[in-house]
Amino acid sequence: MKEVVVLSGKGGTGKTSIAGSFAALAKGAVLVDCDVDAADLHLLLQPAIREKREFWSGQVAAIDESPCTKCGLCQELCRFKAIKDFRVDGTSCEGCGFCSHVCPVEAISMKENMAGYWFISDTRYGPLVHARLGIAQENSGKLVAVVRQQARELAQKQGTKYIISDGPPGIGCPVISSISGANLALLVTEPTLSGIYDLERVLGVCRHFDVPPLVCINKCDINEANSRRIEAYCQAQGSRVAARIPFDRVFTEAMVAGLPVVEYSRNGASHQIEALWKQVSEQLSG
Amino acid sequence: MIISIASGKGGTGKTLVATSLALSLKDRGQVQLLDCDVEEPNDHVLLKPVFTSSEAVCIQVPKVDEGKCTYCGKCAEFCAYHAIAIFPKNVLVFPQLCHGCGACSYLCPEKAISEERREIGVVESGNAAGIEFAHGKLNVGEAMATPVIRMVKAQANQRSNVIIDVSPGTSCPVVESIKGSDFCLLVTEPTPFGLNDLALAVETVRELGIPCGIVLNRAGVGNSGVEEYCGKENLPVLLTIPLDIDIARNYSRGVTLVQGMPHWKESFINLFERIQESAGERSRSLKR
C-alpha cells in the first residue's frame, strides 16, 4: 500500500480537482480528505456515509464559579491568555490542564472536548475517509492523523494498492500531520510569485520529513516565464515538474457538475491529469 | 478599526484584497497591514517591504537537570502533549510536541526543570509603499502557527486602521487571527468549493461575534450558489471583482490590483466606507 498526498502551500491551486481526478483514475484506491477544516473533496465524490464517528480532541478547562475565590493564580499562570475575568475562553485554551492542577480550591475541571466528526463513506471510486472539524475548534492535526490511520487500516484490510490523500494548504500542523510517512507528495502550484514562494516553503517541508516531491504547475499559461522559473528551480532542487496544465474553465465546470475533471471532460486538461496520474502511480509502484 | 480578511477556501483572493485595500487607504490616514498567514505569507511578495526590525518568535520548552531529577515521573504524567517521557534512569524531552504551557517546570517537586527558548518563527516589520507592514514566518518543519500569529498581532498600531490578512481554513490559526477584529471581510468565489468553505467561515466568524461582509472574486465563473447563500443569510456583498485574465496576469507578476489598474482604488475606498457603516451600525446597536 502506497500513499500520495496532494499539497500546495498556497491555497486554491487545484489540489482537490487533481486529487478527485486521481480517485477516478486509480479505480479502487482508498481516498482521504486531510483538509479537515475546509473539506471539499466530498463535493466531487458524492459520498454515501457508511460510518460516522465523534472526534474527541482533548480537554478544555472549565471554572466552577461557586468555589472560585478569584485568587487569580490561573490567570497569572496561563500562557495562552485563555482565562479572563475568571472565565475560560474555549478558543484560546490549549487543554494543558495547568490551571486545573494549581487551583488551590479545585474550582477548575478539565472537560473532554468533542471537536468534530469523521466519516467512512462509499463513493463510486472507492471508500473515502473524511472529517468535519467543529466550528472554531483546534487540533486539526490530530484529526488528520485519525483519518489517515483509518484510511491505512481500510487499505490494509482490503489489500488496496493506493491511498490518495487531498491535503490542506499551508505548511503547519495539519500539513505536517498529512505528510509524515507518506510515500510521495504531489505539489500543485501556479506560476504566480506567491505560488512560487509558497512552493519553496512546502518543498522545504517535504525535505524536512523526507518525503519525495513531484511538482505539477496548474494554470501554467497565466505566466509562462514564471512556469519556466519553477521548472528551473525544481531541477536545481533535485525535484521534477511532472505536469504543466494550462488554465482551463473545465476545472470550475466539473466542480459545478459535482464531478472529477477527468470524468466531466475528455479533452485538454484531462489528458494532462491522466498523464500525471500515470507518473504518480509509476513512482509509487517503483 | 481592525479589519480581518479571511476566506475558508484558499486562493480566493485574500492577499489581492488585503494589499489593494491597504494601498487605497494610505492617503486617507494611517494604515497598517499585518500578514497573519504565517505558514505562507504572500503580502510581502506583492508589496516588497523594507524591513527595519526582525524578532525571533520563541516558545519556552523544558530543560531537565538530570543531576536534580529523581525520575519521579510527575512531569510526564502531567504533560497533556506527551512531550516528556521518563525512564528509570533517563528523561527524554520532545520539544516539537511541547506547547510551552510551563506546567512541568512549575510543578516539578525537585525544581529540576528550567525552560529554554526554542525558536519557531520570526516576525519582521517595516514599511511597504507608505504602509506600516508586519508579517510572521513560521519556520519550515514547525507545526504551531498560533504563537507566531499572536506576535504579529502584538505589532498592531492602535492609532492606525489595521488590516489583517488571514490564512485559509477555519481552525486555530484563523480564529487566532480574526479574534478581536471589528469586522471580518470574507473573500470567496462563485463555485461550489467557494460556497462550501464560505459557509464554514461564516459560522466561525459568527461564533466569535464579529460582523462580516463578502467580497465576491472571479465573478462570472461557476454558478449562483454563493449569491443565493448570501441573500438567504443576509450577508452583504460589499465588492464584486470579475474574472479577468489581466488581473490574474498582473497578480502572477506580483502587481497588486490597484497598482495594475488604478481605477479600482475608488472601489476599495467605497468598500472601506461600507465596512465602517456596517461596523458602526453594530456598535451603535450594541450600545443601545
List the CATH number of the domain containing B112. 3.30.70.20
Instruction: Number of A to B CB contacts under 8 A, please give it.
Output: 195
Biggest distance spanned by C-alpha atoms of chain A: 71
Beta strands B131-138 and B161-165 are unpaired
Judge if pTM exceeds 0.90: yes
- Selecting from A77, A98, A194 the residue whose C-beta is nearest the C-beta of B42 gives A194
The number of C-alpha atoms within 13 Å of B136 and in the hemisphere containing its C-beta is 33
Q: Does B49 touch chain A (CB under 8 A)?
A: no
Report the pLDDT value the prediction gives residue B283, as an integer from 0 to 100.
63
- Domain finish residue from B92, B118, B144: B118
Residues B181 and B231 grouped into a single domain: yes
Residues B194 and B259 in one domain: yes
Calculate helix-pair angle for A15-26, A269-285, nearest 10 degrees: 70
Mean pLDDT over B145-154 rounds to 97
> Which one, of A117, A205, A136, A219, lies nearest residue A167 by Cα?
A205
Boundary-marking domain end, from A114, A133, A157: A114
Q: Which residues pair with B213 in a beta bridge?
A: B185
Instruction: Please report, for the domain that includes residue A275, its CATH number.
Output: 3.40.50.300
Domain count, chain B: 2
pLDDT in tens, B188-212: 999 999 999 999 999 999 999 999 9
Q: Domain range holding B93?
A: 60-118
Backbone region of residue B246 per phi and psi (left: phi > 0; alpha: psi in -120 to 50; beta: other values): alpha
Give the pLDDT score at B9. Answer: 96
Gap from B197 CA to chain A (nearest CA, Å): 6
> pLDDT (tens digit, 9 = 90+) per residue, A43-73?
999 999 999 999 998 899 999 999 999 999 9
Could A208 and B9 be called an inter-chain contact, meaning their C-beta atoms sit closer than 8 Å? no
Same domain, A165 and A244: yes
Residues B79 and B214 both lie in one domain:
no
The minimal CB distance from A176 to the residues B143, B167, B252 is found for B143
Is B246 buried (19+), middle (13-18) or exposed (0-12) by CB count in 10 A? exposed
**Residue B55 within a domain:** no
Question: Domain check: are A241 and A190 in the same one?
Answer: yes
Whole-number Å distance between alpha carbons of B60 and A98: 15
Cβ-based contacts of B253 with chain A (< 8 Å): 193, 223, 226
Which triple of cell numbers denotes residue B170?
Answer: 477555519
Residue B145 C-alpha cell reads as 502557527
For B51, phi then psi, to 5°, come to -90, 135
Residue numbers in A near B140 (CB within 8 A): 171, 201, 204-205, 208
Chain B segment 80-139 residues within 8 A of A by beta carbon are 80-81, 99-103, 106-107, 138
| Residue A268 banded pLDDT, cuts 50, 70, 90 | confident
Q: What is the mean pLDDT of chain B?
A: 95
Euclidean distance between CA atoms B30 and B42, whole angstroms: 22
Per-residue pLDDT at A240: 95
Helices (H), chain A: 15-26, 42-45, 73-77, 98-102, 140-158, 173-179, 193-208, 224-236, 250-257, 261-264, 269-285
Whether A169 and A70 map to the same domain: the answer is no
Strands A184-189 and A48-63: unpaired
Decide if B124 is inside a domain: no
- CA distance readout (Å), B73 to A95, A101, B93: 20, 16, 12
Cell triple for residue B90?
533517563
Within 10 angstroms of residue B268's Cβ, the number of other Cβ atoms is 19
In the structure grid, which three cell numbers stand for residue B93, read together? 524531552
- For residue B251, tell me if it sits in a domain: yes
Give the C-alpha separation, B265 to B257, whole Å: 9
- Taking the C-alpha atoms of B123, A210, A174 and A172 in order, what is their torsion angle to the nearest 10 degrees? 0
| Residues in A 102-141 with any Cβ partner in B closer than 8 A | 102, 133, 135-141
Q: Do A69 and A160 sit in the same domain of this protein?
A: no
- Stretch A202-218: mean pLDDT: 97
- What tens digit of pLDDT does each residue of B60-74 get? 999 999 999 999 999
| Chain segment B63-122, per-residue pLDDT in tens | 999 999 999 999 999 999 999 999 998 999 999 899 999 999 999 999 999 999 999 999
- CATH number reported for the structural domain that contains residue A77 in this entry: 3.30.70.20
Measured between CA atoms, how close is B238 to chain A, in angstroms?
22
Q: Averaged over B235-253, what is the pLDDT? A: 97
- Both B151 and B256 in a single domain? yes
Count helices and strands in chain B by DSSP H and E runs = 11, 11
> CB-based contact (8 Å) between B144 and chain A?
yes
Whether B18 and B146 share a structural domain:
yes
Grid coordinates representing A58 are 482533548
Of A47, A14, A39, A113, the C-alpha closest to B200 is: A39
Pairing of strands A184-189, B113-128: unpaired
A128 and A105 together in one domain: no
> What integer pLDDT is reported at residue A168 of this predicted model?
97
Q: What are B5-54's pLDDT values in tens digits?
A: 999 999 999 999 999 999 999 988 889 999 999 999 999 999 999 999 99
Q: Is the pLDDT of residue A276 over 60?
A: yes
| Domain-ending residue, one of B97, B118, B139 | B118
Q: Are B51 and B150 in contact (CB under 8 A)?
A: no
Pair A8, A81 in one domain: no
State how many domains chain A has: 2
Cα separation, B242 vs B105, in Å, equals 56
- Find the domain containing A82 and state its range: 58-114
Contacts of A198 in chain B (CB under 8 A): 40, 42
φ/ψ of A156, rounded to 5, equals -65, -45
Of B140, B143, B136, nearest to B122 by C-alpha is: B136
CA torsion B134-B140-B142-B145 (nearest 10°) is 30
Q: Does B54 fall in a domain? A: no
Residues B66 and B169 in one domain: no
Contacts of A252 in chain B (CB under 8 A): 191, 221-222
Cα–Cα distance measured from residue A239 to residue A120, given in angstroms and rounded to the nearest whole number: 34
Same domain flag for B235 and B263 = yes
User: Per residue in A138-179, pLDDT tens?
Assistant: 778 999 999 999 999 999 999 999 999 999 999 999 999 999
pLDDT surpasses 70 at A208: yes
Per-residue pLDDT, averaged over A99-109, amounts to 97
Asked whether residue B282 carries a pLDDT value surpassing 70, the answer given is: no
Q: Does B11 sit within 8 Å of A13, measured CB to CB? A: yes
Q: What gap in Å lies between CA B246 and CA B242, rounded to an integer?
A: 11
Interface with B, mutate which of A10, A17, A35, A37 (most B CBs under 10 A): A37
